[in-house]
Structure 1
Amino acid sequence: MAARVGTVAFQGIDVLDIDVQVQMTGGPLAFTVVGLPDKAVGESRERVRGALHALGIALPPQRLTVNLAPADVLKEGSHFDLPIALALLVMMGILPGDAMAGYQSLGELGLDGSIAPVAGVLPAAINALAGGKGLICPAATGGEAAWAGDGLDILAPPTLLSLINHFKGMQVLTRPTPRLESQALAIARDLRDVKGQETAKRVLEVAASGGHNMLMLGPPGSGKSMLAARLPGLLPPLDPAEALEVSMVHSIAGGLEGGRLIRTRPFREVHHSATLAAMVGGGTRARPGEISLAHQGVLFLDELPEFSRGTLEALRQPLETGRATVSRANHHVTYPARFQLVAAMNPCRCGHLDDPSLACGRAPKCAADYQSKISGPLFDRIDLHVDVPAVSAADLSLPPPREGSTEVAARVATARQCQRERYATPATGQQPVRTNAEADGEILERVAGPDAPGRQLLTDAAERLKLSARGYHRVLRVARTLADMDGADGVRRLHVAEALSYRRVAPGR
Structure 2
Amino acid sequence: AQGAEAAWAGTGAVLAAPDLIGLLNHLKGQQLLGAPEPGEADPPGFGPDLRQVKGQETAKRALEIAAAGGHNLLMVGPPGAGKSLMASCLPGILPPLDAAEALEVSMVASVAGTLEGGRLTRTRPFRSPHHSASMAALTGGGLRVKPGEVSLAHLGVLFLDELPEFQRAVLDSLRQPLEAGTVSVARANAHVTFPARVQLVAAMNPCRCGHLGDPALACARAPRCAADYQAKVSGPLLDRIDLHVEVQPVTAADLVLPPPSEGSAEVAARVATARAVQRARYGSDGPRTNAEADGPVLDSAATPDEPGRKLLAQAAEAMRMSARGYTRVLRVARTIADLAGAETVGRIHVAEALSYRRQAPRS
Normalising by structure 2, what TM-score? 0.95
**CA-to-partner distance for each residue in 1:377-398, whole Å, 9 max, x for gaps?**
1110000000111101111111
Distance of 1:474 and 1:342 partners within structure 2: 15
Distance of 1:401 and 1:156 partners within structure 2: 56
Show structure 1 runs of 5+ residues with no match.
1-137, 427-431
In structure 2, what residue type is equivalent to 1:502?
Y
Query: Which structure is higher in helix share?
Result: 2
The residue aligned with 1:219 is: 78
Larger radius of gyration: 1
Describe how 1:4-403 pairs up with structure 2 within 5 A: 138=1, 141-149=2-10, 151-157=12-18, 174-183=34-43, 185-403=44-262
Distance of 1:453 and 1:168 partners within structure 2: 74
In structure 1, what residue type is equivalent to 2:13?
L
**CA-to-partner distance for each residue in 1:323-354, whole Å, 9 max, x for gaps?**
10111222211111111100000000000112
Q: Secondary structure at the match of 1:257?
A: coil
Deviation above 3 Å: which 4+ runs of structure 1? Answer: 159-174
In structure 2, what residue type is equivalent to 1:143?
A
Contact 1:303–1:344 (CA under 8 A) maintained in structure 2: yes
**CA-to-partner distance for each residue in 1:196-240, whole Å, 9 max, x for gaps?**
111110000000000000000000000000000000001111122
Shift of residue 249, structure 1, vs aligned partner: 1.2
Shift of residue 260, structure 1, vs aligned partner: 1.1
Distance of 2:101 and 2:68 partners within structure 1: 17
Contact 1:156–1:176 (CA under 8 A) maintained in structure 2: no
**CA-to-partner distance for each residue in 1:86-117, whole Å, 9 max, x for gaps?**
xxxxxxxxxxxxxxxxxxxxxxxxxxxxxxxx
Distance of 1:425 and 1:164 partners within structure 2: 42
Q: 1:454 to 1:169 in 2, by over 3 A?
A: closer
1:498 corresponds to 2:358:
no
Distance of 1:390 and 1:408 partners within structure 2: 23
Q: Which moved more, 1:324-333 or 1:268-277?
A: 324-333
Contact 2:4–2:37 (CA under 8 A) maintained in structure 1: yes
Distance of 1:235 and 1:463 partners within structure 2: 34
Query: Which structure is higher in strand share?
Result: 1
Contact 2:3–2:14 (CA under 8 A) maintained in structure 1: no
Q: 1:451 to 1:307 in 2, by over 3 A?
A: same
In structure 2, what residue type is equivalent to 1:506?
A
1:419 corresponds to 2:271:
no
Shift of residue 246, structure 1, vs aligned partner: 1.5
Contact 1:368–1:508 (CA under 8 A) maintained in structure 2: no
Count of paired positions: 363
User: Over aligned residues, Cα RMSD in angstroms?
Assistant: 2.0
Q: Which moved more, 1:494-503 or 1:253-262?
A: 253-262
Q: Secondary structure at the match of 2:184?
A: strand
In structure 1, what residue type is equivalent to 2:265?
T
Percentage identity across paired residues of the two chains = 68
Distance of 1:381 and 1:364 partners within structure 2: 25
Q: Which moved more, 1:497-506 or 1:416-425?
A: 416-425
Distance of 2:73 and 2:47 partners within structure 1: 22
Distance of 2:16 and 2:141 partners within structure 1: 32
1:487 corresponds to 2:341:
yes
Show structure 2 runs of 5+ residues with no match.
none
Larger RCO of the pair (alpha carbons < 8 Å, separation 6+): 2
Q: 1:285 to 1:178 in 2, by over 3 A?
A: same
The residue aligned with 1:109 is: none
In structure 2, what residue type is equivalent to 1:479?
A
Contact 1:232–1:267 (CA under 8 A) maintained in structure 2: yes
Q: Secondary structure at the match of 1:358?
A: coil
In structure 1, what residue type is equivalent to 2:217?
L
The residue aligned with 1:409 is: 268
1:436 corresponds to 2:290:
yes
Shift of residue 160, structure 1, vs aligned partner: 7.0
Q: Secondary structure at the match of 1:480?
A: helix
Q: Secondary structure at the match of 2:249?
A: coil
1:448 corresponds to 2:305:
no
Distance of 2:188 and 2:32 partners within structure 1: 46
Contact 2:50–2:89 (CA under 8 A) maintained in structure 1: yes
Q: Which moved more, 1:295-304 or 1:259-268?
A: 259-268
Shift of residue 169, structure 1, vs aligned partner: 8.4
In structure 1, what residue type is equivalent to 2:38?
P
Distance of 2:198 and 2:121 partners within structure 1: 15
Shift of residue 256, structure 1, vs aligned partner: 1.1
Distance of 2:282 and 2:4 partners within structure 1: 33
Q: 1:188 to 1:229 in 2, by over 3 A?
A: closer
Distance of 1:169 and 1:437 partners within structure 2: 53
Distance of 2:294 and 2:42 partners within structure 1: 36
Q: Secondary structure at the match of 2:60?
A: helix
Q: Secondary structure at the match of 1:285?
A: coil
In structure 2, what residue type is equivalent to 1:466?
R
